[in-house]
Structure 1
Amino acid sequence: MVNTLCKSSYRSDLKSTYKSCSSLKIVSSSAVEVIVTSPSGDVYDNTYEGYGVDLTFKVISVKFPFAEPGLWSYSVYNAHSTSHEIFTSISTYALDGVNPIIATSELSGSITDFANGQPLVAFAEVRQGLHPIIRANVIATIERPPDTNGVIYQPIELVLLDNGAGADVTRDDGIYSRYFTAFTGVGYYGIKININNDNGTAIILNDAVALPFSRTLSFVEPEELLKGNIPKIGNTTLLLPGMPVPKPEGEPAPQFTRGISGGSSRVPETPQNWQPTDDIIPPSKIVDLTVTSSSYDNGTATLEFSAPGDDLDNGNASYYIIRMSTSANEIRANYSSIPALNETEFIVGDIFSPGNFGDPERFVVMVDVPQNRSVVSYIFAMHAVDDFGNEGDMSNVVQATFAVHTAPTYNNTAPLTTTPPPLTTTPPPPPLTIEEVDGKSQLLPLWITLGAVVGAVVLILLAIILVKVISKDTKNSKSVSPVTRKQHDIEQGSAYNNSAYSIS
């Protein structure tokens, strides 16, 4: 820079830092001036007590014991007429008891065998302690060597994704990845990663152990499903086709920025007669194919997945090939020999119009469901093809199960409209009443009414019999005068006084 002002910025994390150190190393012997501005607008220049200059190593450092959270900016001013190259290093430190937000990065290998089709993959992991941070902005900048003719190529930027498609195995696990396919020739490919939460979408997951395995849906034999045998890993039930993927739970991440180096990878050779403009890389493998619904009555199955790219996970493919079988073993062993479904068998979706990489795709396919079977299953797999005829690998295998659903039966018998004839010994019972229960007419239980009537008849008959017995006893009894009764008592007493009954 010559007689110019160079500006840049960095962010101090909200509630996660207590000290920030900014160090600018000057390669040239000429001096420069540094001005730092805090988020609240305070300006720090060479009069600030934390401003230091090391003339021996040509380093200017500005240190803040308690860094204010937010976006800091700094300016470097060169007053000389010659240009100078500068390097900037920024360090922040976490509060006691608060885990810092950490970012790490790497490439798939120190050597990439591009001549034999090996891809280069860039990875970055973002976490706070053991808790993954998802939905952050992760951008990889890859430096490329010149080609065989000495043509210089500009660095290329890739947005690393955590979407469970392409190079990314598991969605929302805090590991971001992307294939790199823009090779320019033999040489070293270096990577640096910039991570931020400028749009405020990043989430810190509550429990890091909630994702012990890939969220890619698993294949399970239909017979096992009908038995209710859903496999588990520990206490976690595996996700099956049609089961909703649980939403990640966590708390919003603070505003933050991170910059790291991911090292480099060397390409020792390229394919024979290859040129940087050649397309020899196929679309990526589809790893998240799922069956979201199936209908026995309609004979349809719904397939959903994320669109692959043209060159692995870049761009969009030319068309899809989807194959179906009744046997999982057959589709795995003889995938290429199974006839592909044609476009007329899809009532939703166009196999000749794939979306851009990562776009959600949905296809509804018609299948032949035998009416003489109550349960039948079909197995699906697929791959993508680009416009140069390069074919991607076979996707994960999924199954669609079609079963007859027996509708529940209801008793809709009409209520009785007549009442039993009245008994001669009792007044006729009241007519059966109809009550409203939950908005529906229902007849009172018949046995309750008949029991009450029979009980009343029995009580009346018992009362009549008792009255008749009492009346009969009254008619058969004789009237005795007081004198006669007294005479009788005396005679009865003499009999008891007979000496034959005496006891000596």
Structure 2
Amino acid sequence: MTTRARNLTTLPVITTAHMSQNTAHYPSPMIVYAQVSQGFLPVLGSNVTAIIETEDGHQVTLELWDNGAGADTVKNDGIYSRYFTEYHGNGRYSLKVHAQARKNAARLNLRQRQNKALYIPGYVENGKIILNSPRPEVKDEMAEAEIENFSRVSSGGSFTVSGAPPNGNHTHVFPPGKITDLEAKFKSDHIQLSWTAPGKVLDKGKADRYIIRTSKDFLVLQEDFDNASLINTSGLIPKAAGSRENFEFKPEPSKRENGTKFYIAIQAIGEASLTSEVSNIALATEFVPPQEPSVPALGTNISAISLAVLGLAVILSIF
């Protein structure tokens, strides 16, 4: 839905909404999408809420996220999304989305415009490589712009559901969502991990626990996750879906040298021990700084040099 902007020279904020498909057969989950934009630029920081209603008036309210995790594919692209699993019988469901910004919290993502142009680092002329000027970097404070407060309501049409039990009385069939943004890095002799928490049911609630495994072989995690080295996560308590998780561990003692690679992946465990898909595989590479000579060793070398010079002086004095 579009409403007139307060300033005639300013483009209005537009909100559109739709479901991932027009029909669903239980227990397949669906995804709610809402795009908030001004012109061709995505609007970030909006409060976006989806209201899904059955024919008999039963409503489900979902807060949509633009965090690049769970149902949301790309972070900060102005497309807010969330899984929908709370089916309440068969029939037709309607979708309505409310997007709003208060207290100047929303902003425009100006990086979108920069990314539309293809940057070519150089070209070949008469057999020689000629480099173009470096691509200009956009500073963080220049990458976003403030936007006026707004409130928009948009209809996302309707969709039909079949095979769902009545009154929402269904067994646990949905596992935690797949973690897609796992990151890893070395800090001293520990590996630090960070990721967005999934839910107990896809992206809702919080998982019961995590399984973290590591290997020096990428294919082991990709093809045989259950047999990779298990990391102790007894002290790791999952947070609510959408929260940022942080965890660190010390790799098992082994022959390690500069450039040693460790691959890490995670699974989340939810209701009825349902397990998520294996996460994206993160890489942590260990860089060992060169050791500087210790002070005692340096002192010994200086003493040896001093003795050699003294010996030379004695020899010269004899002659």
Normalising by structure 2, report the TM-score: 0.78
For residue 258 of structure 2, what is the amino acid of its counterpart? Answer: S
In the alignment, structure 1 segments of 5+ residues that lack a partner are: 1-9, 16-94, 146-151, 213-233, 238-245, 345-349, 415-504
Aligned 1:61-460 pairs, distance under 5 A? 95=8, 98-115=10-27, 118-145=28-55, 152=56, 154-210=58-114, 249-270=143-164, 276-295=169-188, 298=189, 300-343=190-233, 350-351=235-236, 353-371=237-255, 373-407=257-291
**Aligned pair in 2 of structure 1 residues 374, 206: CA closer, same or farther (>3 Å)?**
closer
Aligned partner of residue 24 in structure 2, secondary structure: coil
For residue 14 of structure 1, what is the amino acid of its counterpart? Answer: R
Give the superposition deviation at 1:198: 2.0
Aligned partner of residue 271 in structure 2, secondary structure: coil
For residue 341 of structure 1, what is the amino acid of its counterpart? Answer: I
The match for 1:428 is none
For residue 90 of structure 2, what is the amino acid of its counterpart? Answer: V
Aligned 1:479-490 pairs, distance under 5 A? none
CA distance in 2: counterparts of 1:385 and 1:361, whole angstroms: 15
For residue 251 of structure 2, what is the amino acid of its counterpart? Answer: V
For residue 76 of structure 2, what is the amino acid of its counterpart? Answer: D
**Aligned pair in 2 of structure 1 residues 309, 275: CA closer, same or farther (>3 Å)?**
same
In the alignment, structure 2 segments of 5+ residues that lack a partner are: 117-133, 303-319
CA distance in 2: counterparts of 1:410 and 1:373, whole angstroms: 21
CA contact (8 A) 1:205 1:248 kept: no
The match for 1:458 is none
Percent sequence identity is 28
The match for 2:313 is none
CA distance in 1: counterparts of 2:173 and 2:256, whole angstroms: 48
CA distance in 2: counterparts of 1:332 and 1:167, whole angstroms: 22
Aligned partner of residue 200 in structure 1, secondary structure: coil
Give the superposition deviation at 1:205: 1.6
CA distance in 1: counterparts of 2:141 and 2:201, whole angstroms: 30
CA contact (8 A) 2:196 2:242 kept: yes
For residue 206 of structure 1, what is the amino acid of its counterpart? Answer: L
Normalising by structure 1, report the TM-score: 0.51
Q: Which structure has the larger Rg?
A: 1
RCO greater where, 1 or 2, for CA within 8 Å and sep 6 or more?
A: 2
CA distance in 2: counterparts of 1:106 and 1:393, whole angstroms: 26
CA contact (8 A) 2:71 2:81 kept: yes
CA distance in 1: counterparts of 2:255 and 2:274, whole angstroms: 40
Structure 1 segments of 4+ aligned residues over 3 angstroms from their partners: 10-14, 209-212, 234-237, 369-372, 407-414
CA contact (8 A) 1:172 1:248 kept: no
**Aligned pair in 2 of structure 1 residues 326, 289: CA closer, same or farther (>3 Å)?**
same
Aligned 1:21-32 pairs, distance under 5 A? none
Aligned residues: 280
Give the superposition deviation at 1:11: 8.3
**Aligned pair in 2 of structure 1 residues 290, 113: CA closer, same or farther (>3 Å)?**
same
**Aligned pair in 2 of structure 1 residues 236, 354: CA closer, same or farther (>3 Å)?**
farther
For residue 134 of structure 1, what is the amino acid of its counterpart? Answer: L
